[in-house]
Amino acid sequence: MATPTTPHPVLTRYYRRHDEREPFVTALFDGAARSYDRVCAVMSLGSGRWYRRFALRRAGLRPGMRVLDVATGTGLVARAAAGILGDGRAVVGVDPSAGMLLEARRALPGPLVRGRAEGLPFRDGAFDMVTMGYAVRHVAGLEPAFAEFRRVLRPGGRLLILEISRAPSAARRWAVRVYFTRILPVLVSATTRNAHARVLTRYYWDTIASCVAPEVILAALSHSGFTGVERRVFGGMVSEYLAVKPGA
C-alpha cells in the first residue's frame, strides 16, 4: 500500500514526529475552543459567516439533504449548513477535540460525535454531502481521509472542502504572512487573552505556508475514487475543492 500523502511536513517548532502531531493539534484546539469563534472572526475580518453560506449554496446544498461536517470544531460550517437546510438535526458534526465539540453543542441541535477524518464512525452511504472547513491541513493523510469521505457519501453525494491556500503572487504572500505573523497575533491577544489561541494563529500560518500544493489535493481526491473533481478560488486564497461520489 502506498504511503499516504501528508498535508505538510513535520513542524518541529510544535512537535518532532508525525505521531506527535495529532495529540498536539487536539490539545491545541481543546485549549483554544472557548476563543475559537472570535479568532475566526478576526482572521476573516468578519466575512466568514456569509462566505460559508455562499460556498455551501454554490456547492449544491439544499433543503432535504443530510450533511456530515468533518472537523466541525465549534460548528461554524455546520451552523451555516443548518441555516440553509432549515433543520439543524439534518447536520451531523464530527471532531477529535472534546473542547471544540462542547462549544459546538451550544449552538447545534444535531448529533455531535468525537472522531477522526481517517476513521469516521458512520455507516456507508449515510450522507448527501460531506463538508470540511479549513482542516485538511490537520489530517494525518489525505488519501485515508478522502476514502472515508467517499465511503460515507451516498452515490451521487457531494464533497466540499474549504481551505486556505498560498497566495499566487509574491507580494500578496508577503502581505498575508505579515498579517498572520505580526498583526493577527496582536489582535487575538487583545480580544481573547487566551495563550492557546495565540499559538493557534502561529500554527495556522505555518501549516498554510507548508501545505502541499492544490494540485496534490486534487490528485488525491481523484485517486480516492471521486469524479467531477475541481477547485474554485475565492479572493485569491480560499480554495473550494469539490467532488462527487460516482454511481448515482
Whole domain around residue 23: which residue ranges? 18-168+201-244
- When comparing pLDDT for 45 and 142, which is higher? 142
Distance CA 101, CA 245 (A): 28
In this prediction, residue 61 has a pLDDT band, given cuts at 50, 70 and 90, of: very high
State the chain's maximal CA–CA distance in angstroms. Answer: 51
For residue 139, what is its C-alpha cell?
A: 489530517
Residue 185: pLDDT band with limits 50, 70, 90: confident
Q: What pLDDT does 17 receive?
A: 92
| Number of structural domains in the chain | 1
Residue 1 has pLDDT above 60, yes or no: no
E runs forming strands in the chain: 67-70, 91-95, 112-114, 127-133, 153-164, 227-234, 238-244
Residue 180 lies in a domain: no
Residue 4 included in any domain:
no
32-54 pLDDT, tens digit per residue, is: 999 999 888 888 876 788 999 99
* 151 falls within a domain: yes
Q: Which three cell numbers stand for residue 16?
A: 518532532
What crossing angle do the helices spanning 48-58 and 36-43 adopt, rounded to 10°? 80
CB atoms within 10 A of CB 191: 14
- In a 3-state reduction of DSSP, which class is residue 86? coil
Instruction: DSSP letter for 63, please.
Output: T
pLDDT tens-place string over residues 79-132: 999 999 999 999 999 999 999 999 999 999 999 999 999 999 999 999 999 999
pLDDT digits (tens, 9 = 90+) for 154-170: 999 999 999 998 877 88
User: According to the model, what pLDDT value does residue 191 have?
Assistant: 84
Nearest to 243 by CA among 176, 142, 158: 158
Predicted confidence (pLDDT) at residue 213 exceeds the cutoff of 60: yes
Domain-located, residue 111: yes
Contact (CB, 8 A) for 219 and 225: no
Q: What is the pTM of this model?
A: 0.94
Which residues does residue 94 pair with via DSSP β-bridges, in sequence order?
Answer: 70, 113
Which carries the bigger pLDDT value, residue 216 or residue 186?
216
Place of cell 444535531: 110
Residues 24, 15 contacting (CB under 8 angstroms): yes
117 lies in some domain: yes
Q: What is the pLDDT of residue 14?
A: 94
β partners of residue 135: none
What the block records as the C-alpha cell of 58 is 454554490
Higher-pLDDT residue of 218 and 234 is 218
Q: How much is the pLDDT for 34?
A: 93
Cell numbers found for residue 158: 457531494
Q: What is the pLDDT of residue 168?
A: 79
| Model pLDDT, residue 44 | 80
Is 184 domain-assigned?
A: no
Residue 23 above 60 pLDDT?
Answer: yes
Mean pLDDT of 132-155: 96
Q: What is the pLDDT of residues 65-77, one digit of tens each?
A: 999 999 999 999 9
Question: Is residue 7 in a domain?
Answer: no
| Percent share of the chain, pLDDT over 90 | 69
The pLDDT score that the predictor gives to residue 181 is 86
pLDDT of 248: 64
The neighbour count for residue 174, using CB atoms within 10 Å, is 11
CATH number at residue 51: 3.40.50.150
Q: Which of 120, 84, 88, 118 is nearest to 104 (CA)?
A: 88
pLDDT > 70? residue 11: yes
Cα(9)–Cα(164) distance, integer angstroms: 17
